[in-house]
Chain A
Amino acid sequence: MYAFEYHRPTSIGQAATLATEVEDVKFLAGGHTLLPTMKMRLAAPASLIDLSQIAELHGIERSAESITIGAMTKHAEVVNSSEIRESIPALAEMAELIGDPHVRHRGTIGGSVANNDPSADYPAACLALNATIITNKREIAADDFFQGIFTTALEEGEIITRVSFPIPSRAAYAKFRHPASRYALVGVFVAERGNDVRLAVTGAGADGVFRVPEMEQSLSRHFAPDALEGIIIPPEGMNGDIHADAAYRAHLVGIMARRAVQAAASRG
């Protein structure tokens, strides 16, 4: 790790101002992605703006239509939230599959979404649930937010404040863990809201999280695993590493999609 300046503002306004005043700055949330890369000297921001003391970024709110989660909310808080368990159980179940207890008690939804790791779980949930990413400047639909691996619609100095999830009629997440890292080798999040079915895949795509329109259309006609029969996911555009090449990942997308639909359908 190289030396850096450390700031700890207490309001979103202060943080945003700091971000424009200070050179080469990064926001610090749970630090579970940022700090390891700094320790390995792969990232070397001149300043960090720690978001942890900004009260407005914390908390979970439930309305009739949606769940809204503050950016600094930790994965463990999502896991344990009774509001979320009641309204979008799939989201709490997804959060429970992130990393290990240490990670879940440090990592945040804001950090995960802003980072857009191609193997992270939240991007699939955001895309499938048709979430809105709310920043200090605007509201961005998930479909527009995730723009390829480690790339998002966020502008320099823009702060995610909340993520809002419309409550689906049923949803589920099926994750095939990477054997070593336990991130998603392939994760499929499926959500049905009225007649609208959205299905998003993380871990597999070379360009990051993506939706599978063919599966969505078929599922919107008939929400059951057999609706996916015959839909082949081609290996082109898939990620590959020593644990899973493109062909295996493509195959797993089909398997995990079926398992996610099975789990969602069994929710009644």
Chain B
Amino acid sequence: MTATGIGAPVRRKEDQRFVTGQGRYVDDFNRPGQAYAYFLRSPHAHAAIRSIDTGPALVMPGVLAVFTGDDLAADKIGGLICGWMIHSKDGSPMKAGPHPALAQDKVRYVGDHVAVVIAETLAQAKDAAEAIVVDYDVLPAVVETAEAQNSSVQVHDVSSDNTVFNWHLGDKDATDAAFAQAKHVTKIDLVNNRLVPNPIEPRAALGEYDPGTDNYTLYTTSQNPHVARLVLSAFIGVAPEHKLRVIAPDVGGGFGSKIFIYAEETVCVWAAKKVKRPVKWTSDRTEAFLSDAHGRDHVTRAELATDDSGKILGLRVHTIANLGAYLSTFSSSVPTYLYAPLLSGQYDIPAIYCEVDGVYTNTAPVDAYRGAGRPEATFVVERLVEKTARELGQDPAEFRRRNYITQFPHQTPVIMAYDTGDYAASLDKALELADFANFSERKRDSARRGRLRGIGFSSYIEACGIAPSQAVGSLGAGVGLWESAEVRVNPTGSVEVLTGSHSHGQGHETTFAQLVSDRLGIPIDQVSIVHGDTDKVQFGMGTYGSRSGAVGMSAIAKALDKVIAKGKKVAAHVLEAAEGDIEFKDGKFGVAGTDRALGFGEVALQAYIAHKFSGQDLEPGLKEGAFYDPTNFTFPAGVHICEVEIDPDTGVTTIERWTAVDDFGVIINPMIVEGQVHGGIAQGVGQALLEGAVYDQSGQLVTASFNDYCMPRAADLPSFQVDVTVTPCPSNPLGIKGCGEAGAIAAPPAVINAITDALGHEDISMPATPQAVWRAVRKAHMPMAAE
């Protein structure tokens, strides 16, 4: 390992820029003549629009235009799309209702887009929006996930009972048979609470049109600018693909919410041409709460069958997944193919059957959020496994160990073929780091102080990299999920890497440069990482699903191999040796068995001056590209152990210890990986203890600000004990599995298992707020107490 190569804890190159306020985010871009967009949003969760009178707004000072859904329709601008087709059990396609960028006829959630005002200033646009007269026929709303299918309220005409799909996975008969012979069946009812993503940078869009060239430019807060361009051109039809440049500059966090193609960017690009001015929109925090795609929101009943020795025989799951009022870009895949295939967890489960009903409600659309489906699956498996162990009177760690998969590759009954892992190794290390042996002593000590102490495990697995394009295509994805890279070597030997991955906090400028430094033997400051601009990077699928290491860097590795191969050809000419005799080692091209060698920079210069070879023998230049399509998902896994103490007087839960032992395969930068684990755990703890989007019965978002929606703060978290075990991933050239979501996937069941351990009963849901825990404590200790 070199100081800046693979495995080195290199300080993040981008942080100097970020921490000194020199990052450039979409809102930092201002174009000459720029106007401002403000969206009039629905105050009602469900209403028919009888009429919209924009007249009073049009005459307001500074107003350039006011547009409604009719204007978009007149220009044949298509609706927003859902890019993953799910088929119901009966073979019928999912029921996708229309999703116009500006509402037509109906609004379906509070925050739905009704009209847009374009004005000289934002304040003028807001003033004018208040003057728009909308005549609503307010309708009753359906908001509860579990009630959607029995409601008299119908969100979309295409579905009479608000069901988008009844999907299933696994072998029902085999699972029924497993339950029939079970000695013991454990049942659990779970709610996976709805979350608001809350990246620190709210969404923003700046659209620009050049009538001279007929070119459009969109600056947008995107995790995947090429996908945005593809969808905006091929499906929504705002501009031809080759005429639309999408720039996603510095992006301040996304957690999934910036994967999707939303109404606002669609309207900004289109309106820029209409008003012949650049049009900018920046979300305020309230708009972010209302209209960013939310996450999770499942209601699940699950059952686990075991034999008399505590061996798992089968798992049965039924989930209702709230998809909100419209199908967001990848919403349909999250509670289906990103969820049910993970239900085997780390366990050898012979039979699994899972049914998922996706439902519409009058709430914000729900889509991928850090972990996307895998946190929901892990919560089901790990809560159920813990409860089963308790019911069987077995130690939860040993119950898990007994059921771990130990032979690889392992084909689960739910699609996934796990390639490698050593789950017991992570468990052993975690038990030791968590000082599990002395837990009961700590529990007694807490009890002496009148506190309740509990310990909870989460032995999670997830699937990253998504994934082989053929595989996802066969499951309904509308796109392939490879990644591209281009390595441009300059005559001076410095290198630019153009990647289709997109960094919005992950540190790609550092980790990707480490790979280049490692492979080419050049200093890390000789490497620039270029991303986020469709005019620079030819194509890319973007960053989500913890895929940028496993897939994005694999593409770079492939391109680097080609650069080295070409470099050998150049070196052979210069050194007057046979190409087969050239070796590349430690940044030098040398002739095997001699001390004749050229540095990487010398070869780069020779490639460009092209004095030592003829154009017939070799093309000048040193630039190579590669597309990398993974051959499998990757399977990060690990064990998290959470230890809590509860104050029974107030219900306050304090996390006393947190141990995380993760297997992410090969690690490029341990410091960055640890940071990802920390952030993930914080988000998972947020879900378990603090966060939860709440709609009232009329469909108003009660938690529409940080006054009510509780984000995790540093003081809510202990100092984490983080460690790793390593089984390199066999399916990609770097052995990387991915680490970006693991913490958020692992954490929630660890917390709730610890709380239920402390309480002595299972009756607590997320978020386990002080109030909820206080009630649960009273339930456990004072069954007679009123309230």
User: Which positions in A face B, CB cutoff 8 Å?
Assistant: 1-3, 40-41, 176, 179-181, 235, 241-245, 247-248, 251-252, 255
Contact = CB atoms under 8 A, between A and B. Distances in A.
A235 B786 CA distance: 12
A180 B709 contact: yes
B441 interface: no
B771 A40 contact: no
Contact of B649 (A2, A40, A242, A255): A255
Contact of A179 (B286, B649, B770): B770
B138 interface: no
A220 B288 CA distance: 51
A247 B703 CA distance: 21
Contacts of B690: 179-180
A242 B702 contact: yes
Given A180-B708, A180-B711, A243-B771, 8 more contacts: A2-B123, A179-B769, A180-B706, A242-B703, A243-B710, A247-B787, A248-B771, A251-B774
Contacts of A251: 774
B708 A181 contact: yes
Interface string B122-138: 01001100000000000
A241 B126 contact: no
A226 to B, nearest CB: 15
B650 A176 contact: yes
A41 B650 contact: no
Nearest to B706: A180
Contacts of B711: 180
Given A1-B123, A41-B126, A255-B649, A180 B707 contact: yes
A241 B708 CA distance: 9
Contact of A40 (B286, B650, B694): B286
Contacts of A255: 649-650
Contacts of B710: 179-180, 243
Of the candidates A3, A248, A252, the one having the most CB atoms from chain B within 10 angstroms of its own CB is A248
Given A40-B286, A255-B649, A181 B706 contact: yes
Contacts of A3: 123
A243 B649 contact: no
Interface in B681-738: 690, 694, 702-703, 706-711
A2 B127 CA distance: 8
B462 to A, nearest CB: 28
A179 B710 CA distance: 6
Contact of A242 (B286, B651, B708, B774): B708
A179 B694 CA distance: 15
Interface string B459-475: 00000000000000000
Given A179-B690, A252-B650, A244 B708 contact: no
Interface of B: 123, 126-127, 286, 649-651, 690, 694, 702-703, 706-711, 769-771, 774-775, 787
Contacts of A180: 690, 703, 706-711
B769 A243 contact: yes
Contacts of A40: 286
Nearest to B711: A180
Chief secondary structure at chain B's binding surface: loop
Contacts of A181: 706-708
A241 B694 CA distance: 11
B701 to A, nearest CB: 11
B361 to A, nearest CB: 18
Nearest to B126: A41
Contacts of A243: 708, 710, 769-771
B636 to A, nearest CB: 31
Nearest to B286: A40
Contact of A248 (B127, B706, B774): B774
A181 B708 CA distance: 7
A1 B770 CA distance: 36
A181 B703 CA distance: 11
Closest 7 CB pairs of A and B: A180-B710, A181-B707, A179-B710, A247-B787, A248-B771, A255-B649, A244-B771
A245 B775 CA distance: 11
A241 B710 CA distance: 13
A244 B769 CA distance: 9
Of the candidates B651, B690, B771, B787, the one having the most CB atoms from chain A within 10 angstroms of its own CB is B771
A51 B709 CA distance: 33
A180 B767 CA distance: 12
Contacts of A2: 123, 127
Nearest to A181: B707
A242 B692 CA distance: 10
A3 B124 CA distance: 11
Contacts of A1: 123
Contacts of B707: 180-181
A44 to B, nearest CB: 11
A89 B352 CA distance: 62
A180 B391 CA distance: 36
A181 B706 CA distance: 7
Contacts of A176: 650, 770
A35 to B, nearest CB: 14
Contacts of B649: 255
A251 B710 CA distance: 22
Contacts of A252: 650
Nearest to A252: B650
A125 B675 CA distance: 42
A235 B771 CA distance: 14
Contacts of B703: 180, 242
A179 B708 CA distance: 8
Nearest to A3: B123
A245 B651 CA distance: 13
A247 B772 CA distance: 12
A40 to B, nearest CB: 7
A242 B770 CA distance: 11
A245 B771 CA distance: 8
9 contacts: A1-B123, A179-B710, A179-B769, A180-B708, A180-B709, A242-B694, A243-B770, A244-B771, A255-B649
Contacts of B123: 1-3
A199 B707 CA distance: 27
A1 B121 CA distance: 12
Nearest to B694: A242
A202 B32 CA distance: 52
Nearest to A245: B771
A245 B769 CA distance: 12
Contacts of B126: 41
Nearest to A247: B787
Of the candidates A179, A181, A251, the one having the most CB atoms from chain B within 10 angstroms of its own CB is A179
Nearest to A180: B710
Contacts of B771: 243-245, 248
Contacts of B127: 2
A188 to B, nearest CB: 13
Contacts of B702: 242
Nearest to B708: A180
Contacts of B286: 40
A53 to B, nearest CB: 27
B41 to A, nearest CB: 13
Nearest to B692: A242
Nearest to B647: A255
Nearest to B716: A179
B548 to A, nearest CB: 32
A172 B613 CA distance: 86
Nearest to B709: A180
A47 B651 CA distance: 46
Contacts of B708: 180-181, 241-243
Nearest to B702: A242
B294 to A, nearest CB: 16
B736 to A, nearest CB: 37
A32 B57 CA distance: 32
A158 to B, nearest CB: 28
A3 B122 CA distance: 12
Contacts of B774: 248, 251
A176 B769 CA distance: 13
Of the candidates A40, A180, A251, the one having the most CB atoms from chain B within 10 angstroms of its own CB is A180
A42 to B, nearest CB: 11
